[in-house]
Structure 1
Amino acid sequence: MSDKKDWNGHEGSVLHSVNDFDVIDCELCGFKHIIPIPSEDELREIYKHDYHVKEKSFMLEHQLEDREWLDSINDARLETLENILGKAGSFLDIGSGNGFLLSQAKKRGWTVKGIEPSDKAAEYSISQGLDVECCVFDQDCANRLNKFDVIHLGDVMEHVPFPSATLSLCNQVLRPGGLIAIGVPNEYTPVQKILNKDMDVRPWWIAPPHHINYFDKESLEGLLSRHDFTPCHSEVSFPMELFLLMGKNHLDDPKLGRDCHAMRKQLELNLTKSGNRAFLNKLYGCFAEAGMGRTLLVIAQKK
């Protein structure tokens, strides 16, 4: 598709259309997103009651199965933040989910707080002794918070209707020189385009209304730079779409998807536990150079 569409001043070429939503490469925002954009009230209801019950009903079960691997991933992320910041300080996790990153940060000496809109996920986190507030990160929430050394948003920015407004609130509660770490799905990658355009695989990464925004490294760093943050680190995770190229079509097969995930998980654990995390980082750096990687993490410093 190449037609242009305009919705409330958001204009851009239409890349895909799914379930009455269009994904446009928005000239106003500098990143790809769906139109129409759902209202905040609609999204609040989705994430407070439905998301972890219907859309992510097995999330906690899978995370408990993956605990060793998750702790390894979270340790590496926290170590990167500590190296850049120079210490383990105060840590705010927006969209803290079931609290696994917060638990690991607390063990490493961080002072932690979580904001989580899902009542089910927040309840589990609180049961684990974590300081988690069940609410949406909005102006009222930001006004109640203290200042933090690090703000983390993992798998959040693809869901929010107005990413610029979210970053402005983050700026409000982040100390000068503090760090913001944003993890998002890495979308419209070269491999995704090959699979969709050349091999007729459906565009599985498009998931409205839950996924509103679609970022890559350039568009996410550009957004951060426009909000007075200086990007200082980026990394990607294993490109799961490689399994599709190898004939393992897990898109509609949850069991096969878990099997593929287990292979990726074992690769990372083997290299980490054998003391070769640096080699793993180098390998994933090569994926990043090729524009690949299922998820993208960008860390930026407040000016």
Structure 2
Amino acid sequence: MQVRIPYEKCPLCESKHIVKSATGNCSKHPLYDPVVPPVMQWMDCETCKHQFVDGYFTDEALSVVFRNTNDHQKVGHKLEEQRSVSSMMIEKVLPYKSAGAWLDVGFGNGSLLFTAEEYGFHPIGVDLREDNVSAMKSLGFEAYCDFVQDIEFKNKLSVVSMMDVLEHIPYPKEVLSSLHSNMEEGGCLLISMPNTENIIWKLLTNNNANPFWGELEHYHNFSRTRLFSLLKECGFDAVRYGISQRYRVCMEVVALKA
């Protein structure tokens, strides 16, 4: 079985000037299956300075990885505890948007959508795990099990959140551009992911203790600089930088549709 489709050029800028970088071992990941080679080869783009793994999963391999779901990714996980974490995310959006349709891409445990509804937004969820989508629908929420760029939304979106999701997407630019076209003027994008441009990332790497080199489902390692430039390329202006309360070494960025 072919496991990964190789990147022949940078997935962000399409430059062919790419070189091998660090390697990681994903065999200790809780969702690991032996059909996936344990070594993850990371690549550096010499043109735009982006870092990405050497290939993304085929549909067949992805179905193997998605057979199981981490507890923290299941709908309703630690619901009350996560409510307060989600509220801190929503508070970062409120200066820019306080109502309208809120789309959460890769909604996982659903906490952000549950809490967004509490704040007065209309929640919409997208997730590639069928069990999660079924669970959300059973609770009366609008939810889709599909690639977000393939969904036709009924109305323009006021807010789109992608919390630790963009690094899982083979071609992020395609998805961001699609979301941009589905958002209302001045629409707000809330996005989080690990940030390679901080001292903790560097120290973890120097001490051979950086877990993200072996993060099974990740295709990208973003720096703050490269994320901001990508957002600009896709029609968004980054207006706020912050630290994520959910995962270590992660950043949270608010951007507006230009």
Cα–Cα, structure 1 residues 216 and 175, in superposed 2: closer, same or farther, change >3 Å?
same
**Corresponding residue for residue 101 of structure 1:** 112
Cα–Cα, structure 1 residues 21 and 151, in superposed 2: closer, same or farther, change >3 Å?
same
Larger C-alpha radius of gyration, 1 or 2?
1
| 2-structure distance, mates of 1:128, 1:97 | 14
**Corresponding residue for residue 234 of structure 1:** 241
**Corresponding residue for residue 41 of structure 2:** 22
Mapping 1:136-147, distance limit 5 Å: 136-138=147-149, 140-141=150-151, 143-147=152-156
Asked if 2 retains the 8 angstrom alpha-carbon contact of 1:186 and 1:294, the reply is yes
| 2-structure distance, mates of 1:93, 1:43 | 25
Higher mean C-alpha deviation, range 8-17 or range 111-120:
8-17
Q: Return the offset for 1:29.
A: 5.3
Q: Return the offset for 1:71.
A: 1.0
- The structure with more helix, counted as a fraction of residues: 1
Q: Return the offset for 1:58.
A: 5.4
Q: Return the offset for 1:207.
A: 2.9
User: 3-state SS of the aligned residue for 1:14?
Assistant: strand
| 1-structure distance, mates of 2:107, 2:222 | 20
| 2-structure distance, mates of 1:13, 1:215 | 16
Identity of counterpart residues, as a percentage?
A: 23
Q: Paired residue for 1:83, among 52, 71, 95?
A: 95
Mapping 1:8-157, distance limit 5 Å: 8-10=8-10, 11-18=17-24, 19-27=38-46, 30-39=49-58, 41-42=59-60, 45-46=63-64, 49-52=66-69, 56-57=70-71, 59-60=73-74, 64-65=77-78, 67-85=79-97, 87-138=98-149, 140-141=150-151, 143-157=152-166
Cα–Cα, structure 1 residues 51 and 235, in superposed 2: closer, same or farther, change >3 Å?
farther
Q: Which blocks of at least 5 consecutive residues in structure 1 are unaligned?
A: 1-5, 241-292
Asked if 2 retains the 8 angstrom alpha-carbon contact of 1:113 and 1:130, the reply is yes
User: 3-state SS of the aligned residue for 1:90?
Assistant: strand
| 1-structure distance, mates of 2:94, 2:153 | 26
**Corresponding residue for residue 31 of structure 2:** none
**Corresponding residue for residue 257 of structure 1:** none
User: 3-state SS of the aligned residue for 2:211?
Assistant: coil
**Corresponding residue for residue 290 of structure 1:** none
| 1-structure distance, mates of 2:204, 2:46 | 26
Cα–Cα, structure 1 residues 218 and 43, in superposed 2: closer, same or farther, change >3 Å?
farther
Residue 217 in 1 paired to residue 224 in 2? yes
1:123-159 deviations in Å (ceiling 9; x for gaps): 2222322211122223x31x34431111111111010
| 2-structure distance, mates of 1:125, 1:217 | 32
User: 3-state SS of the aligned residue for 1:225?
Assistant: helix
Q: Return the offset for 1:206.
A: 1.6
Asked if 2 retains the 8 angstrom alpha-carbon contact of 1:34 and 1:208, the reply is no
Q: Which blocks of at least 5 consecutive residues in structure 2 are unaligned?
A: 1-5, 11-16, 25-37
User: 3-state SS of the aligned residue for 2:146?
Assistant: coil
Higher mean C-alpha deviation, range 16-25 or range 229-238:
16-25
- Which consecutive segments of 4 or more residues in structure 1 shift more than 6 A? none
- The structure with more strand, counted as a fraction of residues: 2
Number of residue pairs the alignment of both structures matches: 234
Cα–Cα, structure 1 residues 24 and 226, in superposed 2: closer, same or farther, change >3 Å?
same
1:169-224 deviations in Å (ceiling 9; x for gaps): 11121112111111112336422322332x3x343212354110111221211110
| 2-structure distance, mates of 1:135, 1:298 | 25
Asked if 1 retains the 8 angstrom alpha-carbon contact of 2:106 and 2:125, the reply is yes
Q: Paired residue for 1:166, among 175, 185, 195?
A: 175
1:231-287 deviations in Å (ceiling 9; x for gaps): 0011113697xxxxxxxxxxxxxxxxxxxxxxxxxxxxxxxxxxxxxxxxxxxxxxx
| 2-structure distance, mates of 1:78, 1:239 | 13
Cα–Cα, structure 1 residues 173 and 21, in superposed 2: closer, same or farther, change >3 Å?
same
TM-score, scaled relative to structure 1: 0.69
